[in-house]
Structure formats: C-alpha cells, structure tokens
Structure 1
C-alpha cells in the first residue's frame, strides 16, 4: 500500500475498527481507488458470507466516503472487524499502524 495506511482502534466489546484516509491530487485518484478495491476485493473473497454489522455477528462491515474539493480527492475507508477478520487482515496487509 502506497496511499492507504490503516490505523487500528480496539473496543472493549470485541469489535475492531480499521480506518484509512488518503488525500491526493486528482492525478493520483486512480491509484488510491485501486488500493481501496484491493482491500475490498480481498475482504469479499476471504469473508464472503460474513459481511454485515459485527455487533450482529458479521465478521466485517465497511464504510467508504469520497470527496472532491479544490483539485484534491479524499477517500476514507473504515472497516469494522471481528478478531478473525483482523487477524486475517494483518496476515495479508501487515499490522495496522506499523510501516515497513
């Protein structure tokens, strides 16, 4: 990942939140979108049947926000995750908040 760097927030109820935001010029928008799609494609494949609110038994849920303003494109991807999803995410993409 070159644009999305995830931050991890834990909660006491076993639901983890992974959030990444990228704000780039318009000419970098396609690269950011490709990274978002890579994460979502992986999630849909690895946890295809357990997408939904984690507090209702799902393994993951997501919210994708996009905004264009003054030549800048901002993308925010938030994932709610169960422990199993978080562990699989870390195995695939690395530990959130740690950079190489």
Structure 2
C-alpha cells in the first residue's frame, strides 16, 4: 500500500516493543488526504489484528494514539503513533514498506 503524505519512522526498545510513527505536516488543503491515509493504516490494523488492540506491554499486538495540531491557522500536523509487537510490526512493514535500516 502506498502512502503519499505520511512518513513512517520505526524504532524498537529493549523490551521488544516497536514504535511506528506516521507523520505528516501539510497545508489545510491536503488535510483530508492525510486523514484518509491515517484511516487506511488504521483499517489495515483492525482488519489484520482485530482482537489484539490494546497495551502491548500486556501482551496485545498493537495500540495507537492520534494527534492532530493546527499550526499558524493553516498548517496541519498529524502524528499517528502505533505501539506494536514484533509480529504486528513485521506484517505492517510488509504492507507499508519504509526506508528503515
């Protein structure tokens, strides 16, 4: 799946929890397109891991937080943060390839 606005950044911690950040900062005219991509990512997650949403440190596969900020009245910054298990992150990277080293 292609993402035209969201930039992905993946990192993992010592406990094996992967953090996936999907970021976009655009003029107001593109905000609906960004939010459509956010919905595409969330729809994928719900479709592939429907019963394991919740705290990863409690054994579930994924959790999410969505932040939307308007800067200067016209610029929209969107951050979708996913906390993920290794198996979720692997499936996510297959569906949404990134430039992760």
After TM superposition, the score normalised by the length of structure 1 is 0.92
Q: Distance in 1 between matches of 2:89 and 2:23?
A: 18
Equivalent residue for 2:30?
A: 28
Q: Distance in 1 between matches of 2:99 and 2:36?
A: 20
Pick aligned residue for 2:91 from 88, 92, 97: 88
Corresponding residue pairs, total: 97
Equivalent residue for 1:45?
A: 47
Could you tell me which runs of 5 or more consecutive residues in structure 1 were left unpaired when the two chains were aligned. Answer: none
- How much has 1:21 moved relative to structure 2? 1.4
Pick aligned residue for 1:73 from 61, 73, 76: 76
SS of match in other structure, 1:24? strand
- How much has 1:69 moved relative to structure 2? 2.3
SS of match in other structure, 2:7? coil
Equivalent residue for 1:8?
A: 10
After TM superposition, the score normalised by the length of structure 2 is 0.92
Could you tell me which runs of 5 or more consecutive residues in structure 2 were left unpaired when the two chains were aligned. Answer: none
C-alpha RMSD over aligned residues: 0.9
Structure 1: 4+ residue segments shifted above 3 A? none
